[in-house]
């Protein structure tokens, strides 16, 4: 593609809902692109003109506009024994957790991802790991960094549900001497895979790629709104912000400089989703982080949820990912029990439906309104009328609840009260739509 075209197209994506804020454009721009207004719209902007070559390089690595799933699968997972449209390529499926109870409780679910990083570091298979923590300077924002010790990896543990731009780190990580493990969300991982395929030197030291499952992320407005609902107006007075604090599934917890602690069950804090969801999440069709070596999600099933303490669903995709998990199991680092594909699908049927079926219907709506759409190299279609109608209702809900008036209205009620209603309605909604969704889940 000509550089002028790259420039025009990149600018278009940067201003649109196709931008997933992965941070690659910032990381590769040598300071010419930066994120503006991280507590607000959080969009990349060009602050100094780039060369044509730089535009070409960044545009090729942008996963917001396209990512050819079948093509990248062939490239990175040749001969992988299993594949499912919802879960991508995989070798092994497990339910598991870290054997070390401290590591287990430090993680978002079973502490698997952090344990894997610590294991690699202690066995000297890596020299550092790209992880995401809450910023020490601005504890209400996230920041990627290179962890080089067990303590630093644990600083990055736990899920952050507001926007993160892990690939900003490329500016720094490309100069890191030694092998790196990298942890990112699907859009971020896809961009790394694009750079790897292009043989870009910025990623030549990345030896392993891991990542969490990904339902959605929220704008920072969610945190501001959460605070306002509790009568706190100034987010700069946040001392610590957690999204999964305490025993699994954990709590959203804010510690203020004043010493005040505000806490709400994770399932109740989910009420923030329809009001503050990042719209790009709605067009991302990768739920299980399909292009990693190992990916992990919560083991959402009553049998595990009742037990508390933290359980993960773990997918080993590459040979090295599979060997690593086996090794860690043998050496007593991880407790892993194999499960079937069907159990996996059942456990997250809601998530698969939302990201695989829902995303393609929503992309269809965009196409209908002549809006730009991402090209994933495959399309799922043939949904029943009822399923499309359900998506119309969901999309309208997101549209209405995302308005200022709706956000203001919800802040007039106690989050505990709204959270309880939200959890109950979600359960009823899930139950009532069970058949519509299951009909199509194969």
Ligand X SMILES: Cc1cc2nc3c(=O)[nH]c(=O)nc-3n(C[C@H](O)[C@H](O)[C@H](O)COP(=O)(O)OP(=O)(O)OC[C@H]3O[C@@H](n4cnc5c(N)ncnc54)[C@H](O)[C@@H]3O)c2cc1C
Q: Considering only residues 151-180, where is the footprint of ligand X by CB under 6 A? A: 156-161, 164, 166
Three-state DSSP at 313 gives strand
Least distance from C-beta 177 to ligand X, angstroms?
21
Minimum CB distance to ligand X smaller for 54 or for 278: 278
Least distance from C-beta 417 to ligand X, angstroms?
24
Binding of ligand X by 64 (CB under 6 A): no
Least distance from C-beta 160 to ligand X, angstroms?
4
Binding of ligand X by 55 (CB under 6 A): no
b/e 253-270 (16+ beta carbons within 10 angstroms → b): bbbbeeeeebebbbbbbb
Residue 371 CB contacts under 8 Å (≥ 6 apart), including other chains: 16, 17
Q: Considering only residues 199-258, where is the footprint of ligand X by CB under 6 A? A: 212-215, 217
- Which position among 139, 296, 358, 419 is part of the footprint of ligand X (CB under 6 A)? 296
- Scanning 81-89, 183-191, 358-366, 416-424 for contacts with ligand X by CB under 6 A, the matching segment is 183-191
Q: Considering only residues 102-131, where is the footprint of ligand X by CB under 6 A? A: 107-114, 131
DSSP label of 355: I
Separation of alpha carbons 330 and 429, rounded Å: 42
DSSP label of 203: G
Query: How many residues make contact with ligand X (CB under 6 A)?
Result: 32
Least distance from C-beta 109 to ligand X, angstroms?
4
Minimum CB distance to ligand X smaller for 109 or for 202: 109
Binding of ligand X by 312 (CB under 6 A): yes
Separation of alpha carbons 36 and 19, rounded Å: 13
**What are the structure tokens assigned to 386, written together?**
């009822």
User: Minimal CA–CA distance to 244: which of 114, 116, 130, 422?
Assistant: 114
Binding of ligand X by 186 (CB under 6 A): no
- Residue 233 exposed, middle or buried by CB count within 10 Å (0-12, 13-18, 19+): exposed
Residues in contact with ligand X by the rule CB under 6 A: 107-114, 131-132, 156-161, 164, 166, 183-185, 212-215, 217, 296-298, 300, 312, 351
């Amino acid at each position: 593609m000509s550089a002028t075209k790259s420039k025009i197209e990149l600018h278009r994506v940067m201003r649109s809902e196709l931008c997933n804020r992965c941070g690659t454009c910032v990381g590769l721009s040598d300071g010419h692109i930066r994120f503006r207004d991280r507590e607000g719209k959080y969009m990349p902007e060009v602050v100094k003109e780039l060369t044509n070559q730089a535009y070409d390089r960044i545009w090729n690595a942008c996963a917001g506009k396209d990512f050819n799933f079948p093509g990248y699968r062939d490239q990175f997972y040749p001969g992988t024994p299993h594949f499912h449209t919802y879960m991508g390529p995989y070798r092994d499926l497990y339910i598991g957790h870290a054997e070390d109870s401290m590591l287990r409780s430090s993680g978002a679910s079973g502490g698997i991802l952090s344990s894997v990083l610590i294991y690699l570091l202690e066995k000297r298979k890596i020299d550092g790991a790209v992880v995401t923590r809450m910023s020490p300077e601005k504890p209400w924002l996230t920041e990627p960094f290179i962890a080089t010790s067990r303590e630093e990896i644990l600083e990055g543990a736990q899920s952050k549900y507001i926007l993160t731009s892990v690939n900003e780190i490329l500016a720094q990580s490309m100069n890191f001497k030694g092998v790196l493990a990298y942890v990112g969300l699907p859009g971020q991982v896809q961009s790394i895979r694009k750079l790897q395929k292009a043989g870009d030197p910025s990623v030549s030291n990345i030896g392993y790629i891991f990542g969490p499952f990904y339902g959605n992320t929220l704008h920072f407005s969610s945190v501001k709104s959460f605070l306002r609902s509790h009568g706190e107006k100034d987010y700069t007075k946040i001392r610590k912000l957690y999204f999964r604090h305490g025993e699994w599934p954990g709590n959203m917890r804010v510690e203020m400089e004043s010493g005040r602690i505000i806490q709400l069950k994770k399932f109740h804090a989910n009420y923030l989703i329809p009001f503050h969801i990042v719209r790009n999440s709605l067009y991302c069709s990768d739920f299980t982080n399909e292009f990693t070596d190992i990916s992990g999600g919560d083991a959402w099933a009553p049998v595990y949820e009742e037990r508390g303490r933290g359980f993960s669903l773990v997918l080993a995709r590459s040979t090295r990912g599979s060997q690593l998990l086996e090794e860690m199991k043998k050496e007593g680092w991880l407790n892993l029990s194999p499960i079937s594909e069907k159990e996996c699908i059942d456990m997250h049927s809601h998530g698969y439906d939302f990201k695989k079926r829902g995303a393609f219907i929503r992309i269809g709506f965009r196409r209908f309104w002549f809006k730009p759409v991402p090209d994933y190299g495959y399309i799922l279609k043939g949904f029943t009328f009822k399923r499309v109608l359900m998506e119309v209702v969901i999309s309208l809900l997101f549209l209405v609840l995302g308005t200022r008036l709706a956000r203001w209205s919800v802040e007039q009620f106690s989050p505990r009260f709204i959270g309880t209603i939200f959890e109950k309605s979600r359960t009823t909604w899930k139950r009532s739509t069970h058949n519509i969704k299951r009909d199509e889940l194969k």
